Amino acid sequence: MAFLEIAIDSREIDAALQKLIAKGSDLSPAMLNIGEYMRGETDANFVNQRSPDGSAFKFLNPKYAKQKEKRKGIRSILQFTGDLRSSIAYQLVDNGTGVAIGTNIKTPGGALSLGAIHQFGAPRRNIPARPFLGISEENTVEIVAIVEDYLGEDL
């Protein structure tokens, strides 16, 4: 499964993971816990219509919003068929020392990544960025706590 990749600068998470790596144990249980946690947080972004930084998703074009509600009875942003939201998954990477979360779903016709279009926007299609993937400050605290629990110590 190919994922959309977003680089996150988080020194706290990196430091915790370095301690985990230095311990030399099987890291996959901690990585699976982080993956499951972040999958749930990403789903919450859809439910709350908010980006990981807490900002609300940009409003829909009023004409499109009206069409969408009329055709499907849906008012939620980034939820037309539910395919993007339901495609969010995670997998272990780097021999179990890391985890990736994302989507591999394509636009109808399969030409483009639906996730990338919404994460970064598509100005030529008049679609603003509505980031749904990423790590908030609260997520950083929880990820460090997951690693601490796995190591059995405070970092």
pLDDT in tens, 25-81: 788 899 999 999 999 999 999 999 999 999 999 988 888 778 777 777 777 888 777
The residues near 113 (Cβ < 8 Å, ≥ 6 apart) are 4, 103, 104, 105, 106, 107
Segment 79-90 shows an average pLDDT of 86
Q: What is the pLDDT, as a whole number, of residue 133? A: 93
Q: Tell if the pTM clears 0.75, that is, is over it.
A: yes
**19-to-97, 147, 150 alpha-carbon distances in Å:** 12, 9, 11
Nearest-angstrom CA–CA distance, 85 and 108: 15
Percent of the chain with pLDDT over 90: 38
Which residues are registered as beta bridge partners of 89? Answer: 102
pLDDT in tens, 13-36: 777 777 767 776 788 899 999 999
Cβ-based neighbour number of residue 46 at 10 Å: 20
